[in-house]
Amino acid sequence: MTYKLLFVCLGNICRSPAAENIMNHLIQEKGLENVIFCDSAGTSNYHIGYPPDQRMISTLKSRNLPTQGQARQFEVSDFTEFDLILAMDTSNYQSILSLDVQGSYQDKVKLMCDFATRHSFKEVPDPYFGGDAGFNTVVDLLLDSCEGLLDYVLRQKNISRFN
Ligand code: 4NP
């Protein structure tokens, strides 16, 4: 069965689509396309239907990373649809958990930075109101976090034989 990952930020135009694209890039490199599926969503409805922010597209392109995406809002059915939900910051994390009224899915929701091994950030900083440096920091941090996350998923699924 495919293991399904959902990356979540506020707008679904900067951090979470970057995480989805970076993770898909790593998955493709390892030939795991049929093993792990990725999607992303925003806790807000601000940018529904929009592609990733042009500044994030430029930053991803400068690293030869893919730039797919069309923003959507997180919905309660995502709790059952996905195996793991990765929040970019603690505000996103709280927003997601507030929709889990029975507290049934808390174990599925994790902070993305907890998977980083080379950075000590606790959250992926929101780059929206800042300059280019912020977008580069986000991509550096997500590359680190996605590598750690991929190792975690492969261990969880005991599918290291695909490495
Ligand atoms: P994201 O960035 O949550 O990483 O997609 C943001 C995008 C839009 C807004 C804030 C953050 N906004 O306030 O519109």
Q: What pLDDT digit, counting tens, does each position of 64-119 carry?
A: 999 999 999 999 999 999 999 999 999 999 999 999 999 999 999 999 999 999 99
Spatial separation of the C-alpha atoms in residues 23 and 87, rounded to whole Å: 14
Binding site membership of 15 for ligand 1 (Cβ less than 6 Å)? yes
Helices (H), the chain: 15-29, 54-62, 78-81, 90-98, 132-157
Spatial separation of the C-alpha atoms in residues 141 and 112, rounded to whole Å: 9
Q: Provide the residue type at 102 as one letter.
A: Q
For residue 161 the two structure tokens come to 């034989």
For ligand 1, the distance from its centroid to the CA atom of residue 6, given in whole angstroms, is 17
- Tell which atom from ligand 1 comes closest to the C-alpha of 13: 5
Which residue, by CA, sits nearest to atom 12 of ligand 1?
A: 11
Q: What is the DSSP letter of 12?
A: S
Percentage with pLDDT > 70 across the chain:
97
